[in-house]
Chains A and B, each alone.
Chain A
Amino acid sequence: MDFDLNESQGMLQDSLRRLLGDKYGFENRKAYMASETGWSRDLWAQYAELGLLGLPFDEEDGGFGGGGEEVMIVAEQMGRHITLEPWFSTVVLGGGFLRHGAEPGLRAAMVEDIAAGGLLLAFAQQERQSRYDLHDVATTAKKDGTGWVITGRKGMVLHGDTADRFIVTARVAGGQRDAGGIGVFVVPARSDGVNIRGFRMVDGSRAAEVEFSAAHAEAVLGDPEGGLPLVNAVVDEAIAALAAEAIGAMDVIHAMTLDYMKTRQQFGRAIGSFQALQHKAADMLVAIEQSRSMAYFATMAARETDAPERRRNMHAVKAQIGRSQRFVGQNAIQLHGGIAMTMEYAAGHYFKRLTVNEAMFGDTDFHLRALSDIGGLVQAA
């Protein structure tokens, strides 16, 4: 057991911490959010320079050979600054599909562009009826000569408004909720039959509603009728990254709360001297430390090759961190009082990111139910 960073991991953390410390203050963030893209192209170029965009890809594909630990380090720092750039969409989700599902030629070509900052990906998966079920897919893919044609509507596509290519789940065979018959396709964003309507989400990130009307796919990733295991593998890795992001955001909102408790005076003394408030702050720390443990566990569990076992553990990760981040976020607002209700104050923005993070790829209720339906973590005998 060793939870320490090695030298290169330490350097990665330091350099990203420095960059975001310089360029990602709360005022900077507001400006990035108000810009045309809703995030900073300039920062994106600097992420590329730091190697964050090619991070998890193999060196032979033009990446930096980073693993789950490196992704965890970056995601945590991103969470500390509730960044807006499409790193999660492009590198963690999109990158995950390329690593686990793409032909070597396609992968190498795309990784090179991603690493250089010239290619943005978005995962188009959500549908109106699917809620958190990855296997509930109504969008269709039909054979057209040698290629595939995609028709259907995807929602809440993270960073879908600036993506160059979509990774799209579509049904090739079977019923809408069948596990089999789902394919994963790559569709260029700016092509016929693709209609994109971008918007801002409550946490400040950009997203899009994307309509595919007989849009031509440029590639299929893996087995066109057996894509669900690929989707699950990528989403499980993404859950580990989300866990780390949540830790970063929780640490900051907790520290912010403690600072405020030490300075805010009422009844002639700092509100942090009141025991009722101290105990709430202590409970927040308990929740955060339990979540930090779970984020480490997530990084370890995401490497598991036994898919049902991996899924079981990821349910536990989402359930524990989900509950914790809701508790920490709500109490950070409560302990601050009115000031944290204002748009000008940072705490509310962290709370909103934590709220979106909690529900991404399944909220606490969803994962608790799923885990309890498969018998939980402890085997009876």
Chain B
Amino acid sequence: MELRFTDEERAFRQEVRDFLAAECPEATRQHMIAGKSPTKQMVVEWQRKLNARGWAAPEWPKQYGGTGWTPAQKYIFREELQMWPAPVPLGFNINMCGPVIIEFGTEAQKQRFLPRMLNLDDWWCQGFSEPGAGSDLAGLKCRAVRDGDHWVINGQKTWTTLAQHADWIFVLARTDPAAKKQEGISFFLVDMKTPGITVRPIVTIEGGHEVNEVWFDDVKVPLDHLVGQENKGWDCAKFLLGNERFGQARVGASRERIRRLKIIARETMDGGRPLIEDPEFRRQMTEMEVELKALEMTVMRVIANETKRAGTGKPDPATSVLKIKGTEIQQGVSELLMKAAGPYAWVDGDPDADGSNEWEVAPDWAFGLAGVYFNWRKQSIYGGSNEIQRNIMAKAFLGL
């Protein structure tokens, strides 16, 4: 039993920090400290710096541009990026579609798509959810029909995150309507510039445009853009969804937000004294920190387990904790940030429309906190809602 990071791992952490200090644009960092999502340009610029350093896709096998890091190193890397904060490698490219192509794709698909994913020459988005297929993803209706030398896709996808930035979309579509739910689905790679694709923004409650509807109207897709076998797309989907073992815990991101919360709680006054001196508020912060510490150790256990079983073992019950606890903590901290801002959290959006806060209708630090609070309610809904997670746990681990 050895429960500490090794000297090599600590040295690696420092290496990542040094890289961040040298390479991460300060404007990106400040933008993210303020609680705003990085812009497309910020993400692309940063992803290319990571790629130049060989760090674009830590989870990939080395031959395709991965780093060959241990699970502990991958975790440290991600945690340091989140704490800086800096954008993490684009999930759609690096954690979702890339691994599916590596696992199920042809050599030609690998050659064509993987290098462009690493360098963010192509921005990918995910075409899974539909209006009638959310938690019950296998109930999807989007159809792909073979017509000579191509597939023709018709249907509607929704909640498509950042489709407005995307060059490509990976799509689950039904190729055999007669088969049982999961058995008639295939996995396609579709160029967003193909005629027949329409992207319509969905504005979420905080006022942001993050998600979209994507409509497919007789969209022609070349035959070689099918990944894996026809009607075996559900295997790709399961692989993709199961691939994210510790990404959802976001321990570093929560720690960064708690740091921010403490700074704000020192600056904001409550009852004639700094809010941080209020025992009740402090206690609520501490409860979050304590759960976060436990979550961090849970992630370590999952990592140690992965190292031991090299990813082939049966799922570890600790894994299922990560999504539920990770999102509960993030939502809890975002709620405390909103509370800390008090009435100054009420400013809607960006009144002077350029993020400069020149009008000074509220202190700089209060800017955007409500937006994050409202937006982050999504966390317990996406990626398999937390209730679906509990269903999975009941079946897989509790034998109920």
A282 to B286, CA, bound (A): 24
Which residues between 275 and 313 of chain A lie within 8 Å of chain B, taking CB atoms? 275, 278-279, 281-283, 285-286, 289-294, 296-297, 299-300
B289 touches A299 (CB 8 A): no
Q: Assess the A378–B262 pair: CB atoms within 8 A.
A: yes
Give chain A nearest CB distance to B276 CB in angstroms.
Answer: 9
Complex Cα distance A129/B318, Å?
41
> Chain A contacts of B297 at CB under 8 A?
293-294, 296-297
8 A Cβ contacts from A239-289 to B: 258, 261-262, 272-273, 275, 278-279, 281-283, 285-286, 289
- A3 close to B301 (CB less than 8 A): yes
CB of A50 within 8 A of chain B?
A: no
Judge if B298 is at the interface, Cβ distance under 8 Å: yes
Q: Which residues from B are CB-within-8-Å of A380?
A: 259, 262-263, 266
The bracket for how many chain A residues form the interface is 35 or more
Least Cβ–Cβ distance between B29 and chain A, in angstroms? 13
B283, A285: Cβ atoms closer than 8 Å? no
A282 touches B390 (CB 8 A): yes
User: How far does the alpha carbon of A281 sit from the alpha carbon of B397 in the complex, in Å?
Assistant: 10
B308 located at the interface, meaning its Cβ lies under 8 Å from any Cβ of chain A in the complex: yes
Which residues in A have their C-beta under 8 angstroms from that of B389?
A: 282
- Of the 9-residue stretches B1-9, B13-21, B40-48, B143-151, which lies at the interface with chain A? B1-9
Q: Main SS of chain B's interface residues?
A: helix
Cα A294 to Cα B297 with chains together (Å): 7
Among A1, A9, A283, chain B packs the most CB atoms within 10 A around the CB of A1
Contact across chains for B282 and A376 when beta carbons are under 8 A apart: yes
Taking a contact as CB atoms under 8 Å apart, the answer to whether B300 and A272 are in contact is no
CB distance from A276 to the nearest CB of B (A): 10
> Are A1 and B282 interface neighbours, CB within 8 A?
no
Closest to B389 in A: A282
Bound-state Cα–Cα, A6 to B318, Å: 21
Please tell me the size bucket of the interface on B.
35 or more
- For residue B116, CB closer than 8 A to chain A, the reply is no
Question: CA A144 – CA B279 in complex, angstroms?
Answer: 45
Contacts of A1 in B (CB 8 A): 2-5, 72, 300, 303-304, 307
Instruction: Tell yes or no: A340 within 8 A of B by CB.
Output: no
A296 to B3, CA, bound (A): 8
Chain B residue numbers with a CB within 8 Å of A371 are: 286, 289-290
Residue among A2, A281, A369 making CB contact with B400, cutoff 8 Å:
A281
Q: How far is the CA of A365 from the CA of B63 in the complex (A)?
A: 52
* A377 is an interface residue with CB less than 8 A from chain B: yes
Chain A residues contacting B341 (CB-CB under 8 Å) are none
Assess whether A368 is in contact with B286, with CB atoms less than 8 Å apart: yes
B324 at the interface (CB under 8 A from A): yes
A289 B286 Cβ-Cβ under 8 A: no
For chain A residues 339-381, which have a beta carbon within 8 Å of chain B? 368-369, 371-373, 376-381
A293–B298 touching, CB < 8 Å:
yes
- In residues 300-333 of chain B, which contact A (Cβ within 8 Å)? 300-301, 303-305, 307-308, 317-318, 320-321, 324-325
The answer for the CA separation of A281 and B307 in the assembled complex, in Å, is 29
With contact pairs A1-B303, A372-B283 given, residues A285 and B290 touching in the complex (Cβ less than 8 Å): no
- Is the CB–CB distance between B290 and A316 below 8 Å? yes
Kindly state whether residue A4 has any CB partner on chain B within 8 Å.
Answer: yes
* CB <8 Å contact, A285 and B291: no
A378 touches B255 (CB 8 A): yes
Contact of A372 among B259, B263, B282 (CB under 8 A): B282
Q: Is the C-beta of A77 less than 8 angstroms from some C-beta in chain B?
A: no
Residue from A261, A281, A320, A369 in contact with B293 in the complex, judged by beta carbons closer than 8 Å: A320
* A164 contacts the other chain (CB 8 A): no
Identify 15 new A-B residue pairs, CB closer than 8 A, beyond the known A9-B1, A272-B398, A316-B293.
Answer: A1-B2, A3-B1, A258-B399, A275-B391, A286-B320, A290-B325, A300-B4, A316-B289, A320-B290, A323-B287, A368-B287, A369-B283, A372-B286, A376-B286, A377-B290
